[in-house]
């Protein structure tokens, strides 16, 4: 982060230079002069904070800034690993950090100037889309590989054309991700975003006198609103289609992130409230991932027209995934009931009172 004594690496190098700032030869073999200064310097080892340090008496915008600062550090810490492309977990962790920042803008965005909110949310959405395109394929590949390992060598061999196609697509999406992270646009965004994260008051709206402007008097309504968005699905879950369940998953995600942001001032009750939301999110996520894997495997089978062992293996793979989706649908109640129980709402009310 800014002010760090760590060595820096260049992200977003200008045309004519490599990602490390070295000059590239022109068409005649002569090296062009490197620009005097890179677009932006990002510490090679950005500091990864462990806690937000968020307090109930923090001004609303400054609480949001704390969330952004923490997760920006975490996102930047993963950039070298994502560029190297050797560990899929680096992409996953970077995507999680980007999502947390998008959630921060959703929660705290009304404390900042509108133009800033739109600009930063747009950039984070685009970065998240690039990360998601790679991460989603990692998930698909893991599902197919795990299925092949459970079924044995013959089945695993039959799935190889599908896995190979997904790996090739993953590599193509990773190339696009690397180009994004090495682009001038990304470098400029990071420079601008770091300034916002590290400068108290920057782009913050002025709170009128006697208007609620602290975490303790703004967050209660925000938490209840996030919970209501989840609770509203209670009457529609019996026989709900997968699109509805995906919407519920998104609502649960925002409730989880909102509670995580105030974990410190709420203290121990926060973990009790977050745990069942995570369980619901994971349950719905597994169902969604298996549904997508089955759909894309069908598309591959229809377009590639595999024969023999591959056709049989992919067909069995799809059938097993379909059964898994149905099984998870039938078991949704066990993940849902703890969140809509009156005891959960009482616990939520008591936790909010701690702010």
| Tens of pLDDT, residues 200-228 | 999 999 999 999 999 999 999 999 999 99
Q: What is the pLDDT of residue 236?
A: 81
* Residue 238 pLDDT class (50, 70, 90 cuts): confident
d(Cα 19, Cα 139) in Å, to the nearest integer? 29
Q: How far apart are CA 352 and CA 216, in angstroms?
A: 8
Fold equal for 1-23+35-40+54-209 and 214-355: yes
- Return the domain boundaries, the chain: 1-23+35-40+54-209, 214-355
At residue 90, the pLDDT reads: 98
> 223: which residues sit within 8 A by CB, 6+ positions away?
258, 259, 262, 348, 352
- What is the architecture of the domain spanning 1-23+35-40+54-209? Alpha solenoid (1.40)
Instruction: Identify the weakest region by mean pLDDT among 32-36, 262-266, 324-328, 351-355.
Output: 32-36
SS3 at position 25? strand
Could you give phi then psi for residue 200, rounded to 5 degrees? Answer: -55, 135
Reduce the DSSP state of residue 33 to 3 states and report it: coil
Closest CA to 170 of 131, 134, 140: 134
- Looking from the CA of 49 toward its CB, the CA atoms found within 13 Å total 14
Q: What is the length of the chain?
A: 355
pLDDT recorded at residue 304: 86
Output the six-digit token pair for 282. Answer: 């994971």
Distances (CA, A) of 330 to 18, 108, 252, 319: 53, 36, 19, 17
Angle of CA points 75, 80, 84, to nearest 5° = 130
Share of the chain above pLDDT 90, in %: 81
CB 296 within 8 A of CB 282: no
Tell me the fold of 214-355: CHAD domain (1.40.20)
């Amino acid at each position: 982060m800014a002010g760090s004594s760590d060595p820096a690496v260049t992200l977003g190098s200008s045309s004519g230079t490599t990602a490390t700032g070295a000059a590239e030869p022109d068409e005649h073999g002569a090296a062009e002069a490197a620009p005097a200064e890179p677009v932006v310097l990002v510490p090679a080892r950005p500091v990864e904070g462990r806690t937000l340090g968020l307090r109930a008496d923090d001004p609303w915008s400054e609480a949001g800034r704390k969330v952004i600062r923490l997760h920006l550090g975490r996102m930047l810490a993963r950039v070298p690993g994502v560029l190297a492309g050797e560990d899929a977990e680096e992409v996953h962790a970077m995507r999680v950090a980007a999502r947390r920042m998008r959630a921060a803008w959703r929660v705290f965005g009304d404390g900042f100037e509108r133009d800033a909110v739109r600009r930063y949310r747009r950039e984070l959405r685009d970065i998240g889309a690039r990360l998601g395109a790679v991460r989603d394929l990692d998930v698909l590949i893991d599902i197919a590989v795990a299925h092949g390992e459970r079924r044995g060598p013959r089945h695993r061999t039959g799935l190889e054309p599908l896995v190979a196609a997904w790996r090739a697509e993953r590599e193509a999406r990773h190339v696009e991700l690397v180009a994004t992270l090495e682009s001038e646009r990304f470098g400029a965004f990071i420079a601008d975003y770091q300034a916002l994260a590290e400068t108290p008051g920057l782009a913050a709206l002025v709170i009128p006198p006697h208007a609620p402007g602290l975490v303790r008097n703004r967050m209660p309504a925000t938490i209840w609103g996030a919970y209501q968005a989840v609770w509203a699905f209670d009457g529609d879950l019996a026989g709900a289609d997968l699109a509805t369940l995906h919407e519920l998953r998104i609502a649960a995600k925002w409730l989880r992130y909102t509670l995580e942001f105030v974990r410190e001032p709420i203290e121990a009750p926060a973990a009790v409230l977050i745990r069942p939301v995570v369980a619901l999110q994971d349950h719905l996520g597994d169902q969604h991932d298996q549904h997508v894997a089955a759909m894309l495997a069908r598309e591959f089978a229809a377009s590639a027209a595999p024969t023999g062992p591959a056709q049989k293996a992919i067909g069995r793979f799809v059938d097993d995934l379909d059964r898994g989706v149905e099984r998870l649908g039938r078991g949704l109640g066990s993940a849902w009931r703890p969140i809509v129980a009156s005891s959960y709402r009482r616990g939520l009310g008591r936790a909010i009172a701690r702010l």
